[in-house]
Amino acid sequence: MAYLHLQKTPIVFVPGLFGSMSDQIVPGTGDWNFGLAKTAYEPMILLLEGMGYRMGKELFVAFFDWRQPIAYSAEYLVQTIAWAKQVTGSNVVNLICHSMGGLVARAYVQSDTYQSDVAQMIILATPNAGSPVSYCYWSGGKLPSTVVHTKNVVELYMTVYLAYLERGLPRNKIEAIHRNFPSLLDLVPARVYGDFLLESRDGVEMFVPYDYLLIKNRVVDELNSQMDVIFARGIPVTLIAGIGQSTVHYLKTVPSISPVKWVDGRVVGAIHSKMGDGNVMMESVFALNGEKYVVEANHLDILTKSESILKYKLQ
């Protein structure tokens, strides 16, 4: 059995937004851990351990400061990969990434500092084209009740964290978010998502062209314009998207009268689709080139419901 363990390519698991917690992010939460997201991620770790990957031996978690821009967060991943290579003696690792973690991984493997040390990337529920819901938080500081009927777990995490941020700048919630949570801008819809704001003006509804928006996802736009780098570097990509959950596809807006809030339109409603996992549309996951799989699952359940795909890809 020891010989078999040595033959395994180590896994570095990259969690998503709110999937890392420490004193660095919220004082009093201790060393790096999954925080509130442990109910989502601990079953995934158990699944991988059941496949023979031992934590700290063939399995490593790349915790990162998800408040910071994607490129900054990628530095945490670089350190974890280096640790995994040192412990195992392997020259490469397999990356399994959930949600925002997939963008963090892309920021590394598409960068000039890439060390040719990723054997493959398995990406689950990553907004490779962004997500309209993130526009609500970045532009308006909240998710209007008219956008979703029932908040899911990720949105509840967001509500709690934004309330925590607001304690620092109670009179200017938008400034508090932009100053302390800049990564949210890396999650708004990117160009490849297409027009997503349906504005009602003088009784006429029209989509606002992406080029007209003040809020643009320039980070993911650049990643997507250079995605061929991944394949030029010989990194196979597996994409797993969830469907069957009511997911915000487009946002309905009206012109805003505020110079700092809802600058591209005040959100008053949404158009939903079941072709998503409740947080991310399937089209957004598949905005990256790769081998594509669809699972009937929500944004968190997709981790364990992708077990058969993971076993196939890791064999």
pLDDT tens column, 247-269? 999 999 999 988 889 999 999 99
pTM (2 decimals)?
0.95
CA end-to-end span of the chain: 16
pLDDT tens column, 18-41? 999 999 998 999 999 999 899 999
Provide the number of structural domains found in the chain. 1
Query: Above 60 in pLDDT, residue 5?
Result: no
Instruction: Provide DSSP, the chain.
Output: -HHHHHHSPPEEEE--TT--B-TTTSTTS-SSB-GGGHHHHHHHHHHHHHTTPPBTTTEEE----TTS-HHHHHHHHHHHHHHHHHHH--S-EEEEEETHHHHHHHHHHTSTT--S-EEEEEEES--TT--HHHHIIIIISS--TTT-SS--HHHHHHHHHHHHHHTTSTT-HHHHHHHH-GGGGGGS--GGG---EEEEETTEEEEPPGGG-SS--HHHHHHHHTTHHHHHTT--EEEEEEESB-EEEEEEEE----SSSSTT-EEEEEEEESSBBSSSBHHHHTTS-SEEEEEE--TTTHHHHTHHHHHHHH-
One-letter identity of residue 165: L
Query: Which residues constitute the domain of residue 72?
Result: 2-314
Q: How confident is the model at residue 4 (pLDDT cuts 50, 70, 90)?
A: very low
Q: How confident is the model at residue 165 (pLDDT cuts 50, 70, 90)?
A: confident
CA 246 to CA 240: how far, in whole Å?
18
Query: Above 60 in pLDDT, residue 72?
Result: yes
Residue 169's pLDDT is 60
164-193 mean pLDDT: 87
Q: Which segment of 197-201, 211-215, 259-263, 310-314 scores lowest on mean pLDDT?
A: 259-263
| Percent of the chain's residues with pLDDT above 90 | 83
Pairing of strands 204-207, 197-201: antiparallel
Tell me which of 167 and 295 has the higher pLDDT: 295
Instruction: List the CATH number of the domain containing 219.
Output: 3.40.50.1820
pLDDT tens column, 49-65? 999 999 999 999 999 99
Query: Above 90 in pLDDT, residue 3?
Result: no
**Which tokens is 300 given?**
């968190």
Pick the closest to residue 48 from 100, 106, 96, 119 (CA basis): 96
Handedness of CA 78, 82, 85, 88 (dihedral sign): negative
Q: Which segment of 100-109, 140-149, 199-208 scores lowest on mean pLDDT?
A: 140-149
Handedness of CA 255, 261, 264, 266 (dihedral sign): negative
Handedness of CA 261, 264, 269, 274 (dihedral sign): negative
95-110 mean pLDDT: 98
CA 11 to CA 92: how far, in whole Å?
9
* Average of per-residue pLDDT values in the chain: 94
Pick the closest to residue 97 from 120, 117, 65, 129 (CA basis): 120
